[in-house]
Amino acid sequence: MGSTPTNGSCSHVVLFPFMSKGHTIPLLHFAQILLRRSTAVTVVTTPANRPFIAEFLNCTAVSIVTLPFPTAGGVESTDKLPSISLFYELALATSAMQPQFEQLLETLPPVSFMVTDAFLWWTQHSAKSFGIPRLVYYGMSCYSISLSIEAARSGILGGSQPDDELVPLTQFPWIRLCKEDFESGFRDPKPDSIVYEFNMKVMSATYGSYGILVNSFYELEPTFVDFMNKESSHKNWCIGPFCLAEQTPKKVYSEPDVKPRWVQWLDQKLEEKTSVLYVAFGSQAEISCEQLEEIASGLEESKVSFLWVIRKKEWGLPDGFEERVKERGMIVNEWVDQREILMHEIVEGFVSHCGWNSVLESICASVPILAWPMMAEQHLNARMVDEEIKVGLRVETCDGSVRGFVKREGLKKTVKELMEGEKGRKAKEKVRELADMANKAVQEGGSSCTALNSLLNETANC
């Protein structure tokens, strides 16, 4: 991101990410962007999440403040939940922090604006009370938000058609969606449910906010940025990709043996001139034993070299699998630096759950995607990857539905196509073009840099 300060030390920004690494990391990248603009930054979190944030930022320029978060079992982040089905209970419980958050705001220097996660809906009440502009962070693309708005308006979500029947959108007639592109809580909202209660709180707070901070760049999705700005009573600020805040993503290690074992393995494949497929489904996905077996068999039969990150150690793999694929496959159970892996020059494909952070990181690294969505808005992201921006393919389910079971044959076929086929070649060309656009967007004079300048000047305390 361009580093020319526009308002010296006039700005002070409060960032309050939701307690999930997928929601936290982008805002920590945004903090790094703000620091280069001589902007004071305060990050608010909970005690259990502070160590990760402190280590990630690795600087004293950011003030990190913790608020007590008493919960049953001491769970303070989604990755510690025994099941993702408990998400709404965790999210609703965050409102217990509101009194302490407002006490904190009373003690801080003047705040130019705050960026708080959409899931922390109650922070809008605090922002309004203190006269502080609040920008909402959803962690989604303008494409996904726009399609969600239009699907709700057009009645697709509550229509009488079968769940897997594709219906064209009125505002975007080239796009066809089905009910299964959305989570069940959106398809069949029940007013007395915890899902409905939470969504209503989030949407109401968003409408009352100053704007939405979007981790994207205008050139990636201009039609949908324009749609959101036209339809919203507030502005949507596209200031991404935030991951490009890391100026030197390729780490330099003092000694070869200091490198993580997966980086050493990738270096070895580079020496062998063997292209590698990266496989990761995020930390929240829940995958059945039957599906895991098909994934393992599909990768084994594809004959491609692969690095598979499995963050849930309880996921079991077929007996003898790791031994059979040890010459061309590596299984990793630890937390990895995903962007470092994607930026490695030997990685030429990514089997992804299509979380928005992963999509952006893959685009910025010029790596095409094999989309395998699991939850949340990932099915919409998968459509964007495959149909809209054409930087990848979609995994083939056995019945053709968007949430269907994937057999080894379907995975093997699409993996081979991504890594060696004509569709994969075209996706590689397209993703390189978009990577170049992304880098230009965050440079001085680029769309994202200009948007950030505008935001800082508009909200300056001077």
Q: Which residue blocks in 208-352 are alpha helix, DSSP H?
A: 222-231, 261-272, 289-302, 321-324, 338-343
The residue behind tokens 């809906």 is: 121
Sign of CA dihedral 401, 404, 409, 413: positive
At 50, which amino acid appears?
R
- pLDDT per position in the chain (462 positions), as tens? 443 334 445 789 999 999 988 899 999 999 999 998 889 999 999 999 999 999 999 888 899 999 998 765 678 878 777 777 788 888 888 999 999 999 999 999 999 999 999 999 999 999 999 999 999 999 999 999 999 989 888 878 877 788 888 999 999 999 999 888 988 777 766 777 888 888 889 889 999 999 999 999 999 999 999 999 998 778 899 999 999 987 555 566 656 567 888 899 999 999 999 999 999 997 777 788 888 899 999 999 999 999 999 866 656 787 888 889 888 999 998 888 899 999 999 999 999 999 999 999 999 999 999 999 998 899 999 999 999 999 999 999 888 888 889 899 999 999 999 999 999 999 999 999 999 999 999 999 999 999 999 999 998 864
Contact predicate 296/287, CB 8 Å: no
Q: Which two tokens stand for residue 168?
A: 């064209």
For 299, counting Cβ atoms within 10 Å of its Cβ (0-12 exposed, 13-18 middle, 19+ buried), the class is buried
Q: How many CB atoms lie within 10 A of CB 32?
A: 19
Contact predicate 353/378, CB 8 Å: yes
Q: Tell me which H or E stretch contains 437.
A: helix 422-441
Distance of alpha carbon 156 from alpha carbon 448, whole angstroms: 33
Q: List % helix, strand, coil for the chain (3-state, nearest 5).
A: 50, 15, 40
Q: Is 331 helix (H, G, I), strand (E, B) or coil?
A: strand
Residue of 180, 215, 183 whose CA lies nearest to 15: 215
> Who contacts 60 (Cβ-Cβ below 8 Å, separation ≥6)?
none
Classify strands 305-309 and 276-280 as parallel, antiparallel or unpaired: parallel
Give me the pLDDT at residue 1, please: 46
Distance of alpha carbon 376 from alpha carbon 278, whole angstroms: 22
Residue 330 phi, psi dihedral angles, 5° rounding: -130, 135
Distance of alpha carbon 19 from alpha carbon 50, whole angstroms: 10
Task: Give the global pTM.
Answer: 0.90
At 312, which amino acid appears?
K
Write out the DSSP string of 399-415: TS-TT----HHHHHHHH
Contact predicate 123/116, CB 8 Å: yes
Q: Name the packing angle between helices 356-364 and 422-441 (round to 10°).
A: 90
Sign of CA dihedral 122, 124, 126, 129: negative
How far, in Å, are 65, 345, 425 from residue 430 at the CA level?
42, 17, 9
Residue of 306, 325, 301 whose CA lies nearest to 262: 306
At 404, which amino acid appears?
G
Ramachandran category for residue 172: left, alpha or beta (phi over 0 → left; psi -120 to 50 → alpha) = beta
At 394, which amino acid appears?
R
Residues in the chain: 462
Give me the pLDDT at residue 313, please: 60
Distance of alpha carbon 316 from alpha carbon 319, whole angstroms: 9
Distance of alpha carbon 356 from alpha carbon 364, whole angstroms: 12
Q: Tell me which H or E stretch contains 163.
A: none
Give me the pLDDT at residue 27, please: 96
Q: Contacts for 168-175 with beta carbons within 8 Å, 24 or more apart?
A: 171/146, 171/227, 172/146, 172/147, 172/223, 175/147, 175/383, 175/387, 175/388
Ramachandran category for residue 68: left, alpha or beta (phi over 0 → left; psi -120 to 50 → alpha) = beta
